[in-house]
Amino acid sequence: MLIQHKKHGGNHHEIELEHGRLHVFANDEVLQTFGDKVYEMADNNLQIPRNQYMSYTPDAHVGIGTCIGTTAVWSMKNGCVSPSIVGSDIGCGMRVHTTSLHKRDLMDKALRRALIEAIEKYVPTNERKNSNYEDIDVMSVVELGLHGLPEKYVPDNQWLTHVEQSKFGFDASYLNQLPPKILKYARGQLGSLGSGNHFIELQYLEINEAYKDVAEKWGLFDGQVVVMIHSGSRSWGGMVGREHNKTIKEAMNQWGVSNPDPNLIYAPINSQEGQTYLNLMYSALNFAVSNRHMIAFGVREAFREIFGASLEMPVLYDLMHNYALKEFHRNQPMLVHRKGATRALPPGHFLNTPVYKETGHPALIPGSMGTSSYIMVGKEEGLKNFYSICHGAGRARSRKATKQLVTVDEFEQSLKVGTEDEILVNHASLQTILDECPQAYKDVDQIIDSIVGASLADVVAKCKPMAAIKGI
């Protein structure tokens, strides 16, 4: 499968496959964990016509049709869009809110437990339980993003400005192609966590001394308590994907287009199928950023219940890692797909949101339950990878294999159960979330080392977990 392997230095590998060139950003230890299937999927992806660029970040692992950890680029003029290289949870991403609290304010385990219970009161973590924001018009949110929310759910303007994008514009007439049942499923899900690897985590910061000035500009300090949120577009994005994966697959059959992997689907950007998918994908991005916003609103209510109504929780940033966006690179418009990959723009880049133009924006990288997460900032050298970095640790083994290989005792040890530094969770039995234990994931410190060594981004702060809320 691998025809040629060229090392560029700095954790940058260029691998020649049968159907094209794959760039991999990983240190030697991480690179050795990549199996044949990872490269086989890349070769399948490279058979999509007129590909301009494709890469893996170090967290890359096998997904459906495409590996998670993929960046793939086509020209907007004659390129393709692939729902498989967007991912099933369209708009899935990260959000961080800061507080004025210090780690020492949450050392009391009883207090942390009360905070977990308060958060669960405001943020549904059970798939069968709906949120209670009946005064929010789902269609307004889908069409207008954060600007479709009632004013009472927008505490201040920072909740609109400190985000990757507050509204994704698209042709709303395409919404007519969605089945009416989508509203039934989406209504009541806005502000709900979802299951799987989605979470709300209470963390405290350790600032990288080399980036202390940037941290201060972002309002960060050593020991600061922050809240990290990971969620996506829920059933809205899920249904957009299911409906239009089917449509594009049927069109591919009619065009006589095939690929070794039946789960890999794509269409020309300028085709009816491509335009339909892109417009509806943007509707799901609006739902996703609004969903994380409303989760954060619920968390803020819970913190105020415990610490008083004067407590504020400013937004640090909100960004996505499953999407395809039109961006300008090499003096031309390109469609950049990121599936399990995070955009990390450097200081001064024109695509930065205005509030982060000077410093570059925070790039939010979660670890796994029981390990550190990271807040990073992009570097100019990131241009070589279209400013994409990792989106997390990346799974090392499947959910089924994790349950077979890892014991609850091992999981308890990784959470420091019974000690003063125990990472509390919202589940009475760890067996129910065993497939999300740290042992299911790659070593996040090695992933970050790969990114820093490749000069794609640097660490501004390490986020140490204190409590985790997982959905079921």
- 247-276 pLDDT, tens digit per residue, is 999 999 999 998 899 999 999 999 999 999
H/E run at residue 389: strand 388-389
pLDDT at 183: 86
Query: Is the Cβ–Cβ distance between 271 and 257 less than 8 Å?
Result: no
Identify the top-confidence range among 99-103, 184-188, 410-414: 99-103
Query: Is the Cβ–Cβ distance between 352 and 387 less than 8 Å?
Result: no
Q: Taking residues 73-102, what's their average pLDDT?
A: 97
Identify the sign of the CA torsion 225, 230, 234, 240: positive
Please tell me the distance from the alpha carbon of residue 123 to that of residue 302, in angstroms, as a whole number: 9
Please state which of the ranges 25-34, 123-132, 174-183 shows the lowest mean pLDDT. 123-132
Q: Is 420 flagged in the annotation as binding? A: no
pLDDT at 288: 97
Better-predicted residue by pLDDT, 9 or 462:
462
pLDDT at 158: 97
Question: Which residue spans within 242-331 are E strands per DSSP?
Answer: 267-268, 315-320, 322-329
Better-predicted residue by pLDDT, 240 or 3:
240
What value does the mean pLDDT of the chain take?
A: 95
Residue 194 has phi, psi (to 5 degrees) of 85, 170
Percent of the chain residues topping a pLDDT of 70: 100
pLDDT at 219: 98
Whether the pLDDT of residue 137 is over 70: the answer is yes
- Here the tokens at position 371 are 């390990």
- Here the tokens at position 130 are 């709906």
Query: Is the Cβ–Cβ distance between 285 and 73 less than 8 Å?
Result: no
Please tell me the distance from the alpha carbon of residue 232 to that of residue 30, in angstroms, as a whole number: 27
Q: Is 367 flagged in the annotation as binding? A: yes
Q: Is 391 flagged in the annotation as binding? A: yes
- Here the tokens at position 213 are 């000035």
Q: Is 366 flagged in the annotation as binding? A: yes
Q: Is 321 flagged in the annotation as binding? A: yes
pLDDT at 13: 97
Place of tokens 């091992």: 410
Count of residues making up the chain: 472
Whether the pLDDT of residue 128 is over 80: the answer is no
Fold classification of 4-396+441-470 (topology level): tRNA-splicing ligase RtcB (3.90.1860)
Q: Taking residues 433-439, what's their average pLDDT?
A: 91
Please tell me the distance from the alpha carbon of residue 154 to that of residue 100, in angstroms, as a whole number: 20
- Here the tokens at position 61 are 């692992």
Domain ranges, ordered by start, for the chain: 4-396+441-470
Q: Is 394 flagged in the annotation as binding? A: yes
Q: Is 369 flagged in the annotation as binding? A: yes
Q: Is 107 flagged in the annotation as binding? A: no
pLDDT at 181: 87
| pLDDT digits 0-9 by tens, 354-386 | 999 999 999 999 998 889 999 999 999 999 999
Q: Is 231 flagged in the annotation as binding? A: no
Please tell me the distance from the alpha carbon of residue 405 to that of residue 176, in angstroms, as a whole number: 47
Burial of 158 (0-12, 13-18, 19+ CB in 10 A): middle
Q: Write a three-state SS string for 6-53.
A: EEEECCEEEEEECCEEEEEECCHHHHCCCCHHHHHHHHHHCCCCCCCE
**Directed axis angle between helix 272-307 and helix 234-255, to 10°?**
170
123 CA to centre of own chain: 19
Burial of 258 (0-12, 13-18, 19+ CB in 10 A): exposed
Dihedral over alpha carbons 308, 217, 201, 286 (to 10 degrees): 100
Whether the pLDDT of residue 1 is over 70: the answer is no
Residue-by-residue DSSP string for 168-233: ----GGGGGGS-THHHHHHTTTTT---STT-EEEEEEEEE-GGGHHHHHHTT--TTEEEEEEEE--
Q: Is 472 flagged in the annotation as binding? A: no
111 CA to centre of own chain: 29
- Here the tokens at position 82 are 């692939």
Percent of the chain residues topping a pLDDT of 90: 85
pLDDT at 369: 87
Q: List C-alpha distances in Å: 42 to 92, 139, 278, 451.
A: 22, 37, 22, 20
Please tell me the distance from the alpha carbon of residue 56 to that of residue 62, in angstroms, as a whole number: 11
Q: Taking residues 461-470, what's their average pLDDT?
A: 96
Confidence of residue 230 (pLDDT cuts 50, 70, 90): very high
Q: Is 322 flagged in the annotation as binding? A: yes
Please tell me the distance from the alpha carbon of residue 64 to that of residue 245, in angstroms, as a whole number: 12
Q: Is 465 flagged in the annotation as binding? A: no
| pLDDT digits 0-9 by tens, 386-424 | 999 999 999 988 899 999 999 999 998 999 998 989 999
pLDDT at 428: 79
Q: Taking residues 186-210, what's their average pLDDT?
A: 94
**Directed axis angle between helix 109-122 and helix 272-307, to 10°?**
130
- Give the CA radius of gyration of the chain: 21
pLDDT at 323: 98
Question: Which positions are catalytic?
Answer: 391
| pLDDT digits 0-9 by tens, 62-80 | 999 999 999 999 999 999 9
Q: Taking residues 153-180, what's their average pLDDT?
A: 96
Of 218, 212, 205, 209, residue with least CA distance to 106: 205
pLDDT at 243: 84
Q: Is 13 flagged in the annotation as binding? A: no
Provide the β-strand partners of residue 12: 9, 25
Please tell me the distance from the alpha carbon of residue 299 to that of residue 311, in angstroms, as a whole number: 12
Question: Can you give the pTM of this predicted structure?
Answer: 0.97
CA 374, 375, 377: angle at the middle one, nearest 5? 130
